[in-house]
């Protein structure tokens, strides 16, 4: 389990992106794809979640002959506690992002800075029930409403949940007693709860995971996007290049990694100012370009229509970031959150690539941390830009180039959001609903989340996606997995040829691919908006929709928090790798069976793409039958 076929023979991990697999295999530098082979042996106790290292009596490992830890904790307690702690940590990451995003919006209002979408601002204000004297005051009031909710104590309910969530779900959550308190308080309380000799009730801890999932999804996922739309602009559907072909060596190239796009908006704009471009030209370059990588690159790609001068495209996801840097034409890495692999450190050292971190939570060992404060953004921004120029002058001509101009494609469909897709359909979800009712689209599958090298780089995700579209199931994606799928061409119009006959006909008529890219993992919140609006038009609850989810190659604790949100929404969730719970029959049973009777959702674990697609298709068929379609 959790291995990559023939890794030892290949010397690198297999990849769904075969050109990239060959490129990585030829690199003289080590990447995560090489390290898979050295980490083939996994800890069986860790895989099952039955290792506890919370106190000095341990680590305790549960076996049939030793069914309890020294303190007396059972496998059920240890597994649930480990799972809750992971979900709380993942939730904390997303809450950190939405907090910083709200602060950026507030500063935009206070300093009367650029607002790229007043339409998005007015929509968000209406949604939250906020009014202001002008657009800048409205930014402040919206941000304050969000921040006030985040900072409420855990025992005090969040005000905005009922304004953001689908009413039938809110009713169910109230019945189950899982309406969340203040988001930061929930994270704090559940970290405490999962500490030594505190909670030993596995059922209560799993219920707490659902509360964390709700605040994570509504705030960390849904609200972050809506806040960003105001400052960064609305997504616009367009074809765009993806892959390493986007890298132009004639420019000073900055690779961006993380999740907090709004943190560097000022720098992004500043790079186009005449005096800054003049500095680049004096150093021997034509100017500056941002190269997308990980989720922040997906987010920039999503809004790329607004940034064509500075953004050349999205190169790839987290697990090809090392390969992207190895091409030699990247001069700096600007990072502000996770999915920035520690493995880039040695490559940056070898190729003299400057690393700059904007948020200390993502500080890499050899990166320079430059706090980027709104009040001193011009001085901070110029300091960062000058450091990048110095790196360019020091390294260009002194490091080898290993470009890969044929990688990827030029016509991936991007810019899809709940707003742009609805507008494409004529301002209503009815055309999509009609296609589903008629059976031309059998159902919807959200293939979301991380990219990993479990089972190979994006291999399970790609296999599952191809199987689903062949069954006439339209796939909506969000996250690093999207970066892998777009680089292998599944988001080009030509990919319609891989779809089943009905979906293929729909795609050709509309000029769209059978896999629609909503962007970063944060855009899972956008998928939730699509689902709730469709459910609202049909007058049904979310679990009734012919809709399934898969995080086939989930990676991080954030993905577990996403998964808890999916379960709270009542949706079936497929995982290729079990989330370290199999050591507890109770926890496994609750998540894979009993959850259906509570929220309507459940976890499905299947490492085989074809088998998983068959299971998800069966669920969609069952939902269709119940709806009499």
The answer to whether the beta carbons of residues 181 and 149 sit under 8 Å apart is no
Let me know if residue 119 belongs to a domain: yes
Looking at the structure, do residues 97 and 195 belong to the same domain, yes or no?
Answer: yes
* Average pLDDT estimate for 123-149: 98
Cβ-count burial of 133 within 10 angstroms (0-12 exposed, 13-18 middle, 19+ buried)? exposed
* Average pLDDT estimate for 535-541: 97
Looking at the structure, do residues 80 and 142 belong to the same domain, yes or no?
Answer: yes
- In this predicted model, what pLDDT tens digit does every residue of 84-106 receive, in sequence order? 999 999 999 999 999 999 999 99
Give yes or no for residue 35 having a pLDDT over 70: yes
Look at residues 232, 257, 276 and tell me which one is the last residue of a structural domain.
Answer: 232
- In this predicted model, what pLDDT tens digit does every residue of 277-336 receive, in sequence order? 999 999 999 999 999 999 999 999 999 999 999 999 999 999 999 999 999 999 999 999
Looking at the structure, do residues 288 and 219 belong to the same domain, yes or no?
Answer: no
Q: Characterize the bridge pairing of strands 332-335 and 252-257.
A: parallel
- In this predicted model, what pLDDT tens digit does every residue of 547-596 receive, in sequence order? 999 999 999 999 999 999 999 999 999 999 999 999 999 999 999 999 99
Residue 372's pLDDT band, with cuts at 50, 70 and 90, is confident
| Rounded Cα gap, residues 460 and 453, in angstroms | 10
| Rounded Cα gap, residues 360 and 368, in angstroms | 10
The answer to whether the beta carbons of residues 188 and 92 sit under 8 Å apart is no
pLDDT of residue 11: 82
Look at residues 61, 86, 101 and tell me which one is the last residue of a structural domain.
Answer: 61
pLDDT of residue 40: 85
Beta strands in 374-489 (DSSP E): 409-414, 443-448, 473-478
* Average pLDDT estimate for 29-48: 92
Let me know if residue 197 belongs to a domain: yes
Looking at the structure, do residues 551 and 423 belong to the same domain, yes or no?
Answer: yes
CATH assignment of the domain containing 329: 3.40.50.2030
Let me know if residue 238 belongs to a domain: no
Give yes or no for residue 6 having a pLDDT over 70: no
pLDDT of residue 156: 95
- In this predicted model, what pLDDT tens digit does every residue of 455-476 receive, in sequence order? 899 999 999 999 999 999 999 9
| Average pLDDT, rounded, for the chain | 95
pLDDT of residue 373: 87
Looking at the structure, do residues 524 and 427 belong to the same domain, yes or no?
Answer: yes
* Among candidate residues 239, 595, 613, the one with its CA nearest the CA of residue 463: 613
Let me know if residue 409 belongs to a domain: no
pLDDT of residue 311: 96
Q: How many domains does the chain have?
A: 4
Let me know if residue 620 belongs to a domain: yes
Structural domain for 250, as ranges: 244-395
Residue 606 tokens, joined: 């299947």
Residue 5's pLDDT band, with cuts at 50, 70 and 90, is very low
Looking at the structure, do residues 358 and 430 belong to the same domain, yes or no?
Answer: no
Query: Cα-Cα-Cα-Cα dihedral of 391, 393, 397, 398, to 10°?
Result: -50
- For 512, residues 6+ apart whose C-beta sits below 8 A from its C-beta are 413, 493, 496
CATH assignment of the domain containing 191: 1.20.1270.30
- For 411, residues 6+ apart whose C-beta sits below 8 A from its C-beta are 239, 240, 241, 492, 493
| Rounded Cα gap, residues 612 and 578, in angstroms | 13
Of how many residues is the chain composed? 629
Give yes or no for residue 257 having a pLDDT over 90: yes
Looking at the structure, do residues 472 and 603 belong to the same domain, yes or no?
Answer: yes
| Rounded Cα gap, residues 75 and 83, in angstroms | 12
Give the three-class secondary structure for 380: helix
Looking at the structure, do residues 502 and 389 belong to the same domain, yes or no?
Answer: no
Look at residues 395, 426, 449 and tell me which one is the last residue of a structural domain.
Answer: 395
This model's pTM is above 0.75: yes
Looking at the structure, do residues 256 and 386 belong to the same domain, yes or no?
Answer: yes
Looking at the structure, do residues 381 and 454 belong to the same domain, yes or no?
Answer: no
Beta strands in 325-479 (DSSP E): 332-335, 354-357, 368-369, 409-414, 443-448, 473-478
Looking at the structure, do residues 139 and 52 belong to the same domain, yes or no?
Answer: no
Residue 7's pLDDT band, with cuts at 50, 70 and 90, is very low
Let me know if residue 434 belongs to a domain: yes
Q: How many CB atoms lie within 10 A of CB 145?
A: 18
Let me know if residue 408 belongs to a domain: no
* Among candidate residues 565, 517, 307, the one with its CA nearest the CA of residue 411: 517
Residue 3's pLDDT band, with cuts at 50, 70 and 90, is very low
- In this predicted model, what pLDDT tens digit does every residue of 336-349 receive, in sequence order? 988 889 999 999 99
Looking at the structure, do residues 161 and 293 belong to the same domain, yes or no?
Answer: no
Let me know if residue 533 belongs to a domain: yes
Weakest mean pLDDT among 9-23, 194-208, 357-371, 456-470: 9-23
């Amino acid at each position: 389990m959790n291995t990559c076929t023939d890794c030892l023979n290949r010397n690198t991990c297999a990849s769904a992106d075969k050109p990239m697999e060959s490129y990585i295999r030829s690199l003289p530098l080590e990447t995560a794809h090489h390290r898979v082979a050295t980490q083939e042996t996994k800890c069986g106790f860790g895989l099952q979640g039955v290792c506890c290292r919370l106190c000095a009596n341990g680590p305790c490992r549960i076996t049939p002959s030793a069914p309890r830890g020294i303190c007396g904790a059972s496998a059920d307690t240890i597994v649930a506690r480990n799972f809750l702690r992971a979900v709380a940590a993942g939730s904390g990451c997303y809450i950190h992002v939405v907090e910083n995003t709200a602060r950026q919006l507030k500063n935009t209002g206070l300093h009367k800075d650029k607002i790229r979408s007043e339409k998005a601002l007015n929509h968000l204000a209406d949604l939250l029930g906020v009014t202001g004297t002008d657009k800048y005051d409205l930014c402040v009031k919206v941000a304050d409403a969000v921040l006030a909710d985040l900072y409420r104590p855990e025992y005090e309910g969040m005000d905005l949940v009922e304004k953001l969530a689908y009413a039938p779900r809110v009713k169910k959550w109230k019945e189950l007693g899982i309406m969340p308190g203040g988001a930061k308080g929930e994270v704090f309380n559940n970290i405490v709860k999962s500490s030594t000799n505190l909670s030993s009730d596995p059922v209560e801890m799993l219920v707490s995971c659902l509360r964390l999932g709700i605040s994570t999804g509504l705030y960390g996922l849904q609200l972050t996007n809506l806040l960003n739309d105001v400052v960064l602009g609305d997504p616009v559907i367009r074809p765009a290049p993806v892959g390493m072909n986007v890298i132009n060596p004639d420019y000073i190239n900055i690779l961006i990694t993380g999740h907090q796009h709004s943190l560097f908006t000022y720098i992004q704009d500043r790079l186009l100012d005449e005096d800054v471009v003049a500095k680049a030209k004096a150093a021997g370059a034509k100017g500056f370009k941002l190269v997308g990588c990980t989720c922040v690159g997906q987010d920039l790609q999503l809004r790329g229509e607004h940034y064509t001068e500075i953004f050349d495209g999205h190169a790839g996801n987290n697990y090809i970031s090392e390969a992207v840097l190895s091409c030699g034409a990247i001069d700096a890495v600007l990072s502000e959150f996770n999915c920035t692999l520690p493995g880039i450190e040695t490559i940056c050292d070898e190729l003299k690539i400057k690393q700059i971190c904007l948020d200390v939570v993502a500080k890499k060992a050899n990166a320079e941390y430059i706090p980027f404060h709104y009040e001193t953004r011009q001085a901070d921004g110029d300091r960062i830009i000058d450091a990048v120029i110095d790196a360019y002058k020091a390294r260009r001509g002194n490091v080898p180039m290993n470009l890969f101009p044929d990688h990827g494609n030029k016509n991936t469909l991007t810019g899809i959001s709940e707003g742009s897709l609805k507008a494409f359909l004529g301002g209503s979800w009815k055309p999509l609903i009609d296609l589903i009712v008629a059976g031309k689209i059998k159902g919807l599958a959200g293939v979301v989340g991380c990219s990993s090298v479990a089972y190979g780089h994006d291999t399970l995700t790609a296999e599952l996606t191809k199987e689903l579209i062949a069954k006439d199931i339209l796939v909506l994606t969000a996250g690093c997995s999207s970066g892998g799928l777009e680089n292998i061409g599944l988001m080009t119009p030509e990919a319609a040829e891989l779809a089943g006959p009905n979906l293929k006909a729909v795609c050709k008529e509309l000029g769209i691919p059978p896999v629609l890219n909503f962007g970063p993992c944060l855009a899972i919140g956008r998928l939730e908006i699509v689902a709730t609006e469709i459910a609202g038009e049909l007058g049904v609850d979310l679990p009734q929709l012919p809709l399934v989810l898969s995080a086939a190659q989930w990676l991080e604790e954030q993905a577990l928090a996403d998964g808890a949100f999916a379960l709270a929404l009542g949706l079936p969730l497929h995982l290729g790798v079990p989330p370290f719970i199999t050591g507890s029959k109770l926890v496994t049973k609750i998540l894979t069976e009993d959850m259906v009777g509570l929220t309507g959702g459940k976890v499905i674990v299947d490492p085989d793409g074809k088998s998983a697609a068959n299971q998800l298709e069966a669920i969609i068929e069952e939902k269709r039958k119940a709806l009499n379609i």
